């Protein structure tokens, strides 16, 4: 048993099963000695070694130094500038700084929106090395320039590139860097670089496919997804996931979520743009698969779309499907799975079960058995709206977990229209009255359909934080509406000329293009009532809500309105983290703050001012006895928050 445990631990640390197998006996002896010698104070300080801290993405830290009693004393400990403000000021208009740094073997690793990786001293923020992949910033991508993180893995005990940083770039390169020096690993691919199929596809200066989330590394493999614009073509690129040998860069397997779907199915995408997670012991990788293309018209892709809109568990060594669970059938709302599947043990109704927790844009939280793919908390197939003014083979039902309750509203009546004055409220009322809306899953139409929650969530890529000890999930949501209108193909060009500041996509090959716009009042506030952003705590033993609080203010949207509207909650991008110190930290909001909440009550205890928008998930670690809270503050192209290039660390006074 000790030898098996040693083998598993070695593989997790070094990502090299073959190397570990030969040394399992020595490693077992090391584990035994370590167990005998470890006493309080000798244990390693809490770190943050992967995008979600652990491979399963719990976003939970064992750090306890910062507590509800002292969190108000947090001060800026250090700041680091990526240099983008000085070197790429124009390109920053099309960038979002969504990075969550990682701490591995004494270095903090940061990825800028342009895939520039920097290694920092964890105590001072001083740059130790940097690597610039030299992206073509003249190229535009569907989600602009984004790097949510990098991955770390130790491949061998010592030597050049024994420990590696793996980086996905926007132009579809997988790069292996020596973690100690930042130099390219010459024995990986071609001088440290592998081209990810299908390569840097583009139309003119518009990229068709890129990568935004960090890869995952396990069992000697590096696994990468992709980000694809779902609304340009019916016959879009496929969202194939690729696994490469972590040592050599050789392709080991590829998985297409649409499989061998053939006519009468027409469509592409079903890509994996959000972060993946890994169960090391079970040898499984979990994919959050997006929707098939195009998003809002699916008559040419009959059926539910194979593994689109599904959590898919693959055998990590072969890429074969173990199980899949679909959260949206025949998606025509862009309700793809946007967040990392989070792994943990759930004690629902007193029964321990290995779970996958999956948050969705609809504001739903699915709790799935990690071994079987069956719901732990029951899921019901409920009838949904069917009427539309276009021919569309809709699914008659959609899956709804019985608990927790939906975390975002999905139904609105014109009498609920919001506004600060009779005039702007009247404009919102008229817009709601003019649109089609029968609640969640009302299909898109030529009339114009309200998609509520909008396609940014509910929950988005920030995902959840899970404290297994207290069985509490923490998750933030956005509350806003989209108006989606199907446009006859012959009218798409004229509509683009008419609505120059509105998103209009051609859906080339379909009889309809689409127009998508957030439903704002003339004063720029959402037409639905607040709160527009919320932070929730869910008791997973019962599925009930522990507490819910508004998240964020309008301070940096229109100064002074925060005094009029108060802590009303605002749209947000980014996620929470939880700590053993009893706190939940989150940035994400459209005001430039990072906040700390009491994990038990939801009371806001502290907020730290940021130099730019904090639309990123923070992280925390302890370094030489001091706990740091770190967040990227660089703003977000879609939310329009203040741009910058700063990573900022907070800590208690020395």
Q: Can you tell me the distance from the alpha carbon of 258 to that of 309, in angstroms, rounded to the nearest whole number?
A: 11
**Greatest CA span in the chain, whole angstroms?**
76
Q: Can you tell me the distance from the alpha carbon of 460 to that of 96, in angstroms, rounded to the nearest whole number?
A: 14
3-state secondary structure of 556: coil
Q: What is the DSSP letter of 302?
A: -
CA-wise closest residue to 100 among 109, 90, 87: 109
Q: What is the CA radius of gyration of the chain?
A: 24
Q: Can you tell me the distance from the alpha carbon of 275 to that of 341, in angstroms, rounded to the nearest whole number?
A: 8
CA-wise closest residue to 463 among 617, 614, 594: 617
Contact 358, 344 (CB under 8 A): no
Residue 438 annotated as catalytic? no
Six-digit token string for 567: 């802590």
Contact 201, 209 (CB under 8 A): yes
Contact 539, 471 (CB under 8 A): yes
Q: Can you tell me the distance from the alpha carbon of 143 to that of 204, in angstroms, rounded to the nearest whole number?
A: 16
One of 334, 336, 556, 645 is an active-site residue; which one?
334
Q: State the burial class of residue 552 (Cβ atoms within 10 Å of its Cβ: 0-12, 13-18, 19+).
A: buried
Six-digit token string for 582: 């009893």
Contact 125, 649 (CB under 8 A): yes
Mind telling me the catalytic residues? 334
């Amino acid at each position: 048993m000790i030898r098996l445990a040693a083998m598993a631990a070695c593989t997790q640390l070094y990502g090299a099963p073959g190397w570990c197998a030969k040394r399992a006996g020595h490693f077992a002896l090391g584990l035994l000695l370590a167990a005998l010698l470890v006493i309080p104070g000798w244990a390693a300080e809490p770190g943050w070694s992967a995008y979600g801290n652990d491979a399963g993405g719990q976003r939970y830290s064992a750090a306890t130094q910062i507590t509800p009693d002292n969190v108000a004393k947090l001060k800026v400990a250090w700041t680091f500038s990526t240099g983008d403000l000085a070197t790429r000021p124009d390109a920053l208009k099309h960038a979002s700084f969504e990075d969550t740094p990682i701490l591995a073997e004494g270095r903090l690793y940061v990825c800028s929106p342009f895939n520039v990786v920097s290694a920092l001293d964890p105590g001072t923020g001083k740059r130790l090395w940097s690597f610039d992949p030299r992206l073509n910033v003249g190229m535009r991508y569907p989600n602009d320039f984004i790097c949510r993180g990098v991955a770390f893995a130790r491949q061998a005990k010592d030597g050049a590139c024994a420990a590696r940083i793996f980086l996905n770039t926007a132009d579809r390169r997988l790069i292996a860097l020596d973690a100690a020096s930042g130099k390219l690993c010459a024995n990986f691919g071609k001088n440290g670089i592998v081209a990810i199929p299908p390569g840097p596809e583009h139309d003119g200066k518009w990229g068709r496919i890129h990568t935004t989330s960090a890869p995952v590394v396990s069992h000697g493999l590096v696994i990468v997804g992709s980000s694809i614009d779902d609304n340009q073509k019916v016959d879009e690129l496929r969202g194939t996931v690729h696994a490469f040998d972590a040592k050599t860069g050789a392709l080991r397997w590829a998985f297409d979520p649409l499989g061998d779907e053939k006519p009468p199915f027409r469509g592409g995408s079903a890509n994996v743009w959000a972060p993946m997670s890994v169960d090391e012991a079970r040898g499984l990788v979990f994919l959050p698969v997006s929707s098939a293309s195009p998003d809002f018209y699916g008559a040419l892709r009959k059926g539910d779309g194979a593994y689109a809109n599904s959590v898919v568990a693959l055998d990590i060594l072969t890429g074969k499907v173990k199980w899949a669970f679909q959260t949206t059938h025949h998606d025509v709302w862009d309700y793809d799975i946007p967040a990392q599947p989070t792994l943990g043990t759930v004690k629902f109704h007193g029964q321990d079960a290995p779970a996958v927790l999956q948050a969705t844009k609809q504001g739903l939280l699915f709790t799935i058995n990690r071994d079987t793919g069956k719901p732990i908390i029951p899921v019901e197939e409920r009838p949904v709206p069917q009427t539309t003014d276009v021919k569309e083979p809709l699914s008659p039902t959609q899956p709804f977990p019985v608990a927790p309750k939906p975390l975002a509203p999905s139904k609105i009546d014109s009498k609920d229209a919001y506004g600060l004055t009779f005039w702007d409220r009247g404009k919102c009322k008229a817009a709601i009255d003019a649109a089609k809306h029968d609640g969640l899953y009302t299909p898109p139409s030529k009339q114009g359909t309200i998609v509520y929650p909008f396609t940014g969530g509910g929950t988005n890529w920030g995902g959840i934080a899970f404290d297994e000890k207290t069985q509490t999930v923490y998750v933030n949501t956005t509350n806003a509406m989209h108006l989606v209108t199907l446009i006859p193909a012959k009218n798409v060009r004229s509509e683009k000329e008419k609505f120059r500041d509105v998103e209009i996509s051609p859906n080339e090959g379909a009889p309809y293009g689409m127009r998508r716009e957030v439903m704002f009042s003339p004063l720029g506030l959402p037409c639905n009532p607040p709160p527009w952003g919320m932070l929730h705590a869910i008791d997973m033993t019962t599925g009930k809500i522990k507490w819910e609080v508004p998240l964020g203010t309008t301070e940096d949207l229109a100064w002074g309105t925060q005094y009029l509207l108060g802590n009303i909650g605002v749209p947000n991008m980014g996620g929470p983290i939880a700590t053993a110190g009893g706190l939940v930290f989150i940035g994400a909001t459209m005001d430039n703050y990072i906040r700390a909440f009491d994990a038990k009550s939801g009371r806001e205890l502290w907020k730290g001012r940021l130099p730019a928008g904090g639309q990123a998930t923070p992280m925390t670690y302890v370094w030489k006895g001091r706990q740091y809270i770190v967040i990227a503050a660089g703003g977000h192209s879609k939310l329009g928050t203040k741009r910058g290039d700063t990573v900022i660390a907070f800590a208690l006074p020395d």
